Structure 1
Amino acid sequence: MTRSSPERASVEPFRHVGLFYRDEIEHTSLCAAFLREALALGDPAMVAVPGGGEAIRARLGDDAGGVVFADMAVAGRNPGRIIPSVLLAFAHAHPGRRVWIIGEPIWKGRTELEYPACAAHEALINAAFAGREATILCPYDVTALEEHALADAERTHPILQDAASTWPSPGYTDPVETAALFDEPLPAPPPHAASHTFNGTGGLPGVRAFLADCGAAAGLDERRVGDLLIAMNELATNTAEYTCGPGTVTVWLEDGTLVCQLDDSGLLTDPLAGRIPPPDHTTRGRGLVIVNELADLVRIHHRPSGTSVRLHFDLARTYQGTTGYQP
């Protein structure tokens, strides 16, 4: 494999770089160098890493004042939230300018349940930002992450970097096709799960009543029950309006979370659904964006006969308001 120098320029306005680092010192120094390059050009810069990037802030010193910091473990708890509520929100806050963003969506603390959504997110960044003036650097800890995560990073990033050099990724492939590889079947709900079947818009009040009872019984606080009802009502409304068959809502408790799944006969064909907010003047098309914003994890599986959407609500997290980047 022939590696190019770090100065190798991309022919595309968008650069998506997978950064392989070995320890905290490399992570901090390489991220700080990336940010200083942005600041030297007068471009807006952002850091979204687990914990909020305090070590990077310290490394930057006085330069840190020109950088926006966010805790990816909060803002990106649900990987489906990162593109609309973190990356695009920051880009839209700086129209007509190149943005530089460090985003670390995959770290050792991510669960096997979260991982497919994280990897699909990394692939879809390339589709969401195609043609945009942006540089996004995604750090990967090569000593802590499993080999499959590093191999997937090669598939989802056109450019790779380590402490020594930068090179074109030999494994990079079409982002939509790559994201589809992580559309994995969901584990079956447990036998004790409660379920409710509805049909048409007339069944929506019954869905909301069923979910309100389930949320309260699980111990969600009042505002989080509200999040649950808004998110699931968006999904159920889509089922009622756009499919010709019934929908089924299934609810259960699992590892400290309330899990809600909606199964219907609808086919979700847009791979970026829920990740690209519609224009401000548009009143429709926000359903999955809202769902991604409110739930702690969203998994979507396309079945041959329809779609399953599974939402997780952490029982330990109280209402905290908007979790994304706020300009």
Structure 2
Amino acid sequence: MTGFDHIGLLYRDEDEYAAGCAAFLRQALAAEEPAMVAVPGGNGELIRARLGSDAHRVVFRDMSVAGRNPGRIIPSVLLAFLREHAGRRVWIIGEPIWDGRSEIEYPACAQHEALINAVFAGEEAAILCPYDVARLNPEAVADAHRTHPVMQDATGVWDSPAYTDPIETAAAFDVPLPAPPPAAAAYRFEGLRALPALRAFLTREALAAGLGGRRLSEMLIAVNELATNTGEYTDGTGTVTVWTEHGTLVCQIDDGGRIADPLAGRVPPPDHATHGRGLLIAHEFADLVRIHRHSRGTSIRLHFALSPEREPAVRRRTAR
């Protein structure tokens, strides 16, 4: 097996899950190639148990932590593992979509699955993405066929007839964001000289909402990076709106610019580059990033959990 393979694994119970994932990993182990599992919570234990004594040869990460923000998965999980093992074929199980992902998170998750195909084209990698068909919304399962060139279940493997161009598919999930609440605090800024006052505004709003310490610093860095992009790449005028919802602080930045590169924020720039890290930093620090391109410009919404116990958005079941 050579080149890039992106496989959607459909499973109906724990046994199908463990069997499908273990069979995939045993191919990597037989070839003595690096393998990683990034799945949510206890799912990793199911795979460990099925692998038995071979489990120590596989790297395990909790996707509910490492991939809490779906936009962080490609640069900080998948590409990081690929580059750690440069020159070798890597095998990765990544489960970014599970029962419990919120409705507002889902478009970012589906975009992530589509963009994997563009980012990894030509790489020596195999990525298996499990989908729980017994609990996930049927639309999520249907989308898996659109974002994976190959599908697999307990009965076999087949080419997905629904698979389409990854950039076009990702664009289809660029849907309008819910409107900020009427009482949300807003700050209009113009140019890079306005950034200190913007940071002061954000600090007041964040402290009032209960976001402090390291998370406050990370929020300020992330929003400042995006506001800097507004100052450098648009007419310089933007608006930051801040509010709280469901245990999170939400910061939305609106400007008249357009993000032309569909992979912006997903692929780190070369080490020598002096620009191009703003969205990457926002993805790294925020618990969720949603981007909406529209006729008037771009809206970028960042979510920051107010406490470690809280989820980054409204939790709505996606089960049937």
Name 1:39's counterpart in structure 2. 29
Q: How does 1:46-195 map to 2 (within 5 A)?
A: 46-51=36-41, 53-195=44-186
Contact 2:242 2:251 in 1 (8 A): yes
Deviation at 1:132, TM superposition (A): 0.3
Gaps of 5+ in 1: 1-8, 319-327
Alpha-carbon distance between aligned partners in 1 of 2:49 and 2:197, rounded to the nearest angstrom: 53
SS in structure 1 of the partner of residue 280 of structure 2: helix
Question: In structure 2, what is the Cα distance between the partners aligned to 1:24 and 1:283?
Answer: 47
Match of 1:5 in 2: none
The answer to whether structure 1 residue 233 and structure 2 residue 213 are counterparts is: no
10, 13, 21: which is aligned to 1:20? 10
Amino acid at match of 1:169: S
The amino acid that maps onto 2:298 is: T
Cα distance in 1 between the residues matched to 2:225 and 2:60 = 31
Cα root mean square deviation, aligned: 1.0
How far 1:245 moved relative to its partner?
4.4
**Matching residue of 1:215:** 206
Question: Which SS does the other structure have where 1:188 is aligned?
Answer: coil
1:234-253 aligned within 5 A: 234-253=225-244
> For the residues of structure 1 that align with 2:259 and 2:33, how far apart are their CA atoms?
37
- Decide whether the 8 Å contact of 2:192 with 2:236 is kept in 1: no
Contact 2:72 2:266 in 1 (8 A): yes
Question: 1-side partners of 2:204 and 2:212: how far apart?
Answer: 12
2:266 to 275, 288, 294: 275
2:304 aligns to what SS in structure 1?
Answer: strand
Aligned-residue offset at 1:164: 1.2
Q: Aligned partners of 1:274 and 1:109: how far apart in 2?
A: 25
Contact kept, 8 Å, 2:133 with 2:141, in 1: the verdict is yes
Offset at residue 281 of structure 1 (A): 2.3
- Checking the alignment, whether the CA contact within 8 Å between 2:189 and 2:239 is kept in structure 1 is yes
Q: Structure 2: which 5+ runs fail to align?
A: 310-320
Letter of the 2:128 partner, please give it. L
| 199-208 or 275-284, which deviates more | 275-284
Which segment drifts farther, 167-176 or 206-215? 206-215
2:187 is aligned with 1:196: yes
Aligned residues: 308
**SS at 2:41's partner residue?**
helix
1:29 aligns to what?
19
User: Is 1:316–2:310 an aligned residue pair?
Assistant: no
Q: How far off its partner does 1:33 sit?
A: 1.1
- Paired amino acid for 2:38: A
Contact map agreement 2:286 2:303 (CA 8 A) in 1: yes
Find the aligned partners of 1:57 and 1:246 in 2 and give their Cα distance.
52
Worse-superposed segment, 242-251 or 96-105: 242-251
Which stretch of structure 1 is more off in the superposition, 29-38 or 94-103?
29-38
Question: 1:22 corresponds to which letter in structure 2?
Answer: R
TM-score if structure 2 supplies the norm length?
0.95
Alignment partner, residue 324 of structure 1: none
- Structure 1 residue 221: Cα displacement: 2.7
Instruction: Identify the range of structure 1 (282-291 vs 64-73) with the bigger mean alpha-carbon deviation.
Output: 282-291
Q: Specify the SS of the correspondent of 2:207.
A: helix
Which SS does the other structure have where 1:51 is aligned? coil
Q: Percent identity?
A: 69
